[in-house]
């Protein structure tokens, strides 16, 4: 009887160790798969500009692309979240440790698919500006990670730069630049840009879908939009403003 009990305990111990090893292997495999999806080779062919296009581009002001963070470029959850929106065990792209109200908080951050490639391309066309309704201590850390020492996300605005109205944060684009004809905002929340709907490109909220291509889908539009004299003349008429990419 004693030998049988010892044998059962040995089997349980072996199964427990095996289960932990298998869980670790699955974690590594998921992380590797996310890396492949995030950094897979994608192309957006930028053909040489014709003389007419070059002259047109020189004749208009360089545009500013204002970028939201949460659910637009990234998604994150922090310690203590009872129901995270990503599947348990999905590895984050990076972890941030910040202190909020004297309490250390860890944020597990997941990057939207193709965000690195997207930023690399649009930074050649636009001046990039981060505008988030999040607290600066968090938003600044996320922007630093996305910038990755490329020096393309230098201008940043945070919650204190928003206008609080009926419990929601509104982003006043005039704090970014007085000339609204040259500003485009990319944000998943229509309420954030309701003061400037003619400057906005909507994008569907992203949480965890690894097959999402919304950022890639926007590249042709952003490529063409930089040649316009007033972005509002296009965005205010275009039906894309009433759909989610």
Any idea which residues carry the catalytic annotation? 68, 70
Q: Which residues pair with 223 in a beta bridge?
A: none
- C-alpha span between 103 and 75 (Å, rounded): 21
> Across the chain, how many H-helices and E-strands are there?
6, 10
* Contact call for residues 103 and 166 (beta carbons, < 8 A): no
* Contact call for residues 50 and 167 (beta carbons, < 8 A): no
> Which one, of 173, 197, 187, 142, lies nearest residue 63 by Cα?
173
23: helix, strand or coil: helix
Token pair in block for residue 159: 């919650």
Q: How crowded is residue 213: how many other Cβ atoms within 10 Å of its Cβ?
A: 13
């Amino acid at each position: 009887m004693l030998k049988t009990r010892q044998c059962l305990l040995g089997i349980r111990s072996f199964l427990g160790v095996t289960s932990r090893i298998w869980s670790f292997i699955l974690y590594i495999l998921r992380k590797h798969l996310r890396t492949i999806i995030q950094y897979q080779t994608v192309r957006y062919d930028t053909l040489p500009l014709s003389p007419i296009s070059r002259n047109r581009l020189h004749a208009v002001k360089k545009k500013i692309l204002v970028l939201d963070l949460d659910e637009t470029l990234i998604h994150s959850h922090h310690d203590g979240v009872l129901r995270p929106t990503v599947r348990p065990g999905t590895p984050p792209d990076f972890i941030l440790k910040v202190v909020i109200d004297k309490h250390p908080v860890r944020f597990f951050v997941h990057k939207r698919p193709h965000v690195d490639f997207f930023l690399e391309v649009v930074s050649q066309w636009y001046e990039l500006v981060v505008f988030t309704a999040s607290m600066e201590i968090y938003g600044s850390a996320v922007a630093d990670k996305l910038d990755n020492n490329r020096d393309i996300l230098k201008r940043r605005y945070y919650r204190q730069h928003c206008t609080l109205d009926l419990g929601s944060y509104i982003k006043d684009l005039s704090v970014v630049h007085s000339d609204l004809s040259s500003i485009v905002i990319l944000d998943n929340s229509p309420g954030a840009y309701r003061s400037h709907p003619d400057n906005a490109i909507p994008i569907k909220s992203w949480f965890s879908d690894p097959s999402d291509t919304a950022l890639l889908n926007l590249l042709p539009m952003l490529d063409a939009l930089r040649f316009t004299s007033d972005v509002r003349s296009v965005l205010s008429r275009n039906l894309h403003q009433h759909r989610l990419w």
